[in-house]
Amino acid sequence: MILIENIWKQFSGKQVHRGISFDVREKETLVVLGKSGGGKSVLLKMVIGLIKPDAGRILVDGKNVVEMTYPELRALRFKFGFLFQGAALFDSMTVGENIALSLRRHADFAHGEIRDRIDYALHIVGLDNVQHVMPSSLSGGMKKRVGLARSIALTPRYMLYDEPTTGLDVATADGINLLINELRSSLGVTSIVVTHDIHSAFVVGDRFAVLEKGETLMTGTREEIQNSDNEEVRKYINSSISPSESGHA
């Protein structure tokens, strides 16, 4: 379980977070919704200690990430997979080497076993025979899939997705959404998805946290946020959702 409690953060005098709080329950996918530039990605990085909040607590399995030492943080990060917005593949390595990096360093797998795990991770994300390809030759959607394969290679308990569908065409975005749902059902991971894409959010999310001006406007299920009395939440949902989608809601 992840608990985010009263997070405050400012960058160069600009207050980005003003007391953000929400929790993520076991094996659920919580989607953090909010406008671009609202500090959603920063929040995700705070969960694994890449950025420290100015105030507040982040509890993962009951332990406060904010107060962890560097060795404790590294131990914590083994539990997490992180899909970065631009996939963040190491461009000097092949796809196979990208996935093998953490397998070689953090686990005592034999050479053949590493190869099998690379194949398996790539198979899960629907990519085969790309082990020897350089990331620069891949499309945006394929890069995200490889990033996902790299994240799940060590079978994490938690997955963090930073704008998983941003910059992708509708069909590719749907493929990624499907993959996020498949990972949850096949690996049983607990996930946080950060996005401003409301369509994607409704496909993958169990619960939602809506952020606005650095504060948590509300948390709840799809029905709860769509039927919310909060004017700001309604305004955000209605401004983000297309007429056809609202019709299906």
Partner 1 sequence: MTTQSTGYAFPFFSTIGRRGEAFFTHLGKYCSLMWWMVKNLSNAREYSGNIAQQMVLIGNNSMLIVVFVATFVGMVTSVQSAYQLYAWIPRTVVGSLVIKSVLLELTPLLTALVLAGKVGATITAELGSMRVSEQVDALEALAFDSISFLITPRILAGIIMFPILVVFGDVMAVLGGLFGAVTISHISAAAFISGMKSSFEVWDGVFGIIKATFFGFTITSIACYQGYFVEGGSEGVGKATMGTVVLTCLAVVVMDFVLASILL
Contact residues for partner 1, defined by CB under 8 A:
45, 48, 50, 70, 74-75, 77-78, 80, 82, 84-86, 88-91, 101-102, 105-106, 150
Q: Which is nearer to partner 1, 55 or 107 (CB)?
A: 107
Q: Which is nearer to partner 1, 117 or 207 (CB)?
A: 117
Q: Which is nearer to partner 1, 99 or 209 (CB)?
A: 99
Beta bridge partners of 59: 3, 64
* End-to-end alpha carbon distance in the chain: 29
| Distance separating alpha carbons of residues 91 and 140, to the nearest angstrom | 14
What per-residue string of b and e applies to 171-196 under the rule 16 or more CB within 10 Å gives b?
A: ebbebbbebbeebbeebebbbbbbbb
As separate numbers, helices (DSSP H) first and strands (DSSP E) second, the chain gives 10, 10
- Closest CB 163 distance from partner 1, rounded Å: 12
- Closest CB 13 distance from partner 1, rounded Å: 14
- Closest CB 50 distance from partner 1, rounded Å: 6
Tell me the pairing of strands 207-212 and 215-220: antiparallel
Q: Which is nearer to partner 1, 65 or 210 (CB)?
A: 65
Q: Which is nearer to partner 1, 6 or 85 (CB)?
A: 85
- Closest CB 242 distance from partner 1, rounded Å: 30
Q: Read off the tokens for 109.
A: 């797998």
- Closest CB 104 distance from partner 1, rounded Å: 9
